[in-house]
Structure 1
């Protein structure tokens, strides 16, 4: 019984440690589990969460999108000022709004998926298995800059807007490519069933 209680306490302690960490999200979408020690206007000093006794690491604020602190608060970084936007609620909201505006504009303006979608459909109509190749390749690649069809170059120069627009554009492209592959697969299955029932 004593061993069970000790095991339970150790498990709870381990779980509490797992959830008491900061997360630094880089603009490359990489998450770093860390204990943030210091945030200055130009750099962030931290220790890796899996090595708290190890060396202090430094990352430039310009490379960081956001910090999620262990207490649940967020620090979203503004590229132009290179300062955390947690100083005012207004700046945080405008930064988040730019990201969502980018996503909404991608839904309205992005249509550069047509080549990838049509190519996948044509190849998949010939053979759904062969169609997997362009479907996988097209859905894995980010949309090309020339195909983004964004409405405002000035907005696109803002990192939060750009990130939101590109993220949503890639999701739209993936959805269209896999929808077209599914349509071709359905047509092939229907044709096979129709031909086999006619014999």
Structure 2
């Protein structure tokens, strides 16, 4: 019973916090994202949207002055509440020899980077972490290393990608960027779970050695 309580205490101390990350000092909690046709993302709060102009308040540390962008230069607006508004009229036009181009005006490199940015914020599957942690606690550090080695080597399944706009996965450059970043995060979480399990065993071993020494 004593060993079980020690193991539980060590596990609770080493597991990563699952609460939301603290807000950085000076950061605005509710910011909209404006995606320009040239691929640049602008953070701020949209104040007024007319058929020809978009007025917004830029995010800190920019000066708190209202700025204006022509609607013709804006692809879409992603609001803080998660909704999106497509502003560029050509965005839904069919491509001559393929599906509609949802990222008009963006180069392949910008589409790749856009996919990576979306994956950073929307790929949130923690299954690899808990799977490798459980395997390490069950089999021990020596045999538990097999789990992260196998899990981290497999690409994230399509149903687990969960991009904010699933239709964008039809774009090969966007999809490649999103997939690469999602795979990277999966590897990090797989080995993170293994590391936590090893840490639990190290703490438990140290406690046992200390008890025997006394």
- State the match for 2:129 in structure 1: 117
- State the match for 2:141 in structure 1: 128
- Point out which structure has higher relative CO (alpha carbons under 8 A, 6+ apart): 2
Distance 1:106 1:133 in 2: 27
Cα deviation, 1:9-58, whole Å, max 9, x if unaligned, reads xxxxxxxxxxxxxxxxxxxxxxxxxxxxxxxxxxxxxxxxxxxxxxxxxx
Let me know the Cα RMSD of the aligned residues. 1.9
Counterparts in 2 of 1:10-29, with a 5 A limit?
Answer: none
Counterpart contact for 2:113–2:177, Cα < 8 Å:
yes
SS of the equivalent of 2:152 reads helix
Deviation, 1:153, is 2.2
Give the aligned length. Answer: 111
Distance 2:113 2:199 in 1: 35
Unaligned stretches of 5+ residues in structure 1: 1-79, 83-89
Cα deviation, 1:150-186, whole Å, max 9, x if unaligned, reads 1112211000000000000000000011111111101
Greater fraction helix = 1
Deviation, 1:197, is 1.3
When residues 81 and 164 of structure 1 are mapped into structure 2, their CA distance, relative to the original with a 3 A threshold, is farther
Counterpart contact for 2:113–2:174, Cα < 8 Å:
yes
Cα deviation, 1:115-163, whole Å, max 9, x if unaligned, reads 2211100111231222211111110000011111111122110000000
Task: Provide the TM-score with structure 2 as the length reference.
Answer: 0.49
User: Runs of at least 4 residues of structure 1 off by over 6 A?
Assistant: none
Task: Provide the TM-score with structure 1 as the length reference.
Answer: 0.52
Question: Are residue 159 (structure 1) and residue 159 (structure 2) matched?
Answer: no
